[in-house]
Amino acid sequence: MPRLTDNKGEPELYTRIGLLRAERGMSRKELADAVGVHYQTIGYLERGEYRPSVVLAMRIAAVFGLPVEAVFSLEPFRPLSEQVYGERKEMA
């Protein structure tokens, strides 16, 4: 079962920022410049070391043209292969 809280008792926040950046060939600096933060902030977000404000989360989602819940979640994201192909296939 995934950890639902961090070591401070706050809900865990999951993100697809790294995946979305890679998919679009975007660097951390390019995303940071687009949303008005330092590029290290993007790294902290991707590693789960920083929680964005609502405004920052909405700016990031807007850059990707997605709803905020497609970029951030309180529950782990299902693997994309599972979403595309259905139930998880066991590896032999």
d(CA 74, CA 18) in angstroms, rounded, equals 17
Domain contains 3: no
Locate tokens 């920083």: which residue? 50
* pLDDT tens across the length of the chain (92 residues): 445 555 667 788 999 999 999 999 999 999 999 999 999 999 999 999 999 999 999 999 999 999 999 999 999 988 877 877 876 655 55
Give backbone dihedrals phi and psi of 65, rounded to 5 degrees, phi first: 70, 35
Task: Compute CA distances 2 → 6, 9, 22, 42, 79, whole Å.
Answer: 11, 14, 25, 23, 14
**CATH assignment of the domain containing 35:** 1.10.260.40
User: Is 46 within a domain?
Assistant: yes
Overall number of domains in the chain: 1
Q: Domain for residue 91, yes or no?
A: no
Does residue 52 fall inside a structural domain? yes
Instruction: Identify the domain containing residue 68 by its residue range.
Output: 14-85
**Nearest alpha-carbon partner for 13 in 23, 21, 3, 22:** 3
